[in-house]
Amino acid sequence: MLKVACSLAVVLVLALPIAIFAQETTPEVTLTLTAEAYQTANLRAGADTRYPIVGRLTAGDGVIIIGRDAAGRWLLVETEEGLVGWLPAYALAFAGELLDIPLAEENLAEAGEDVFVTAYGLINLRAEPDMDSVLVGQLDVGDTAQATARCCITNDWLLIRFEPTADQPDRETLEGWVAYFTVTVRGDVSALPVLVPGEDGVSLIPPSALVQAAFNARLHPEATEESPVLIIVPFEELVQPLGRSADGLWLYVAYNGVSGWGSADLFFMRQADIAELPVIEE
């Protein structure tokens, strides 16, 4: 029995350095993302339909995704034949997160560089990032404007400001939202702040500045249940906190263009965040 135990101990001691050595010399695993073409698709020299076609895929062709543009709308791929080019993301079927794919260097802006857009054609500017929103102006073919914000992490809409040049005396300064697919973008869009229209109908705010109603929340003109009901915020609807009462028990919020007081208990908001709101006198 003792002999067997000693033999086992020797085996374990001898195996230990081998296990440690194997752990220390195991190379890092490089994650590669493979994909298949949904249908026939043109492989292009750049992340835009106006770049020349450098190849073509048919449905079922396999590729390796090696990069993406800042918006994640175009992917840089390598085919089984070693051909490298760009494809729109919707043309591929793959499992994985777009944000895990590294940005292709040619699409990165220099640190601190502004983001600009150039209009494909006659482009409508909207008051809000929505096709049904009010038209506030238009960009002509070739007009360039600075992008100052985006609607969401998928960059479906960009907030731009157009300043007419000296040779455009009949043009005026314009500011509004343009659909991403209607413009060519220069710069790192992911560096732009994400802003959404505030519930007060005037301001643009980060999405994190909105909070959900925990119940059907009544808004009042005064911070008391006895005052009239201005509007009822349905459960899980978003409101924009504008301020609080001195004791923090009431929030002054905006919803659908209406501002009023609601009990703080009716909204998903941390006490620490409530404390940071300005105190509003009734």
CA-to-CA separations, 175 to 56, 137, 164, 182, 245, in angstroms, rounded: 39, 8, 12, 16, 35
CATH number of 204-275: 2.30.30.40
Banded model confidence at residue 52, pLDDT cuts 50, 70, 90: low
Residue 148 has pLDDT above 50, yes or no: yes
Domain 115-194 bears CATH identifier 3.65.10.10: no
| pLDDT reported for residue 110 | 38
3-state secondary structure of 112: coil
Whether the predicted pLDDT of 241 surpasses 60: yes
Of the two residues 100 and 8, the one the predictor is more confident about is: 100
Q: Is the pLDDT of residue 16 over 60?
A: no
pTM for this entry: 0.46
Strands (DSSP E) found in 180-281: 183-186, 196-197, 204-205, 211-212, 217-219, 231-233, 238-244, 250-255, 258-263
HSE (side-chain half, CA atoms, 13 Å) at 176: 20
Three-class SS of residue 272? helix
Tokens of 157: 């809409």
Band (187; pLDDT cuts 50, 70, 90): confident
pLDDT tens digits along 193-214:
888 777 766 677 777 678 889 9
251: confidence class by pLDDT, cuts 50, 70, 90 = very high
Q: What integer pLDDT is reported at residue 169 of this predicted model?
A: 83
DSSP code for 38: S
Q: Which architecture does CATH list for 33-107?
A: Roll (2.30)
Q: Of 174, 153, 159, nearest to 129 (Cα)?
A: 159
Average pLDDT over residues 8-33: 41
CATH 2.30.30.40: which residues of the chain? 33-107, 115-194, 204-275
* Per-residue pLDDT tens digits for 150-180: 887 677 899 999 998 877 888 899 999 999 8
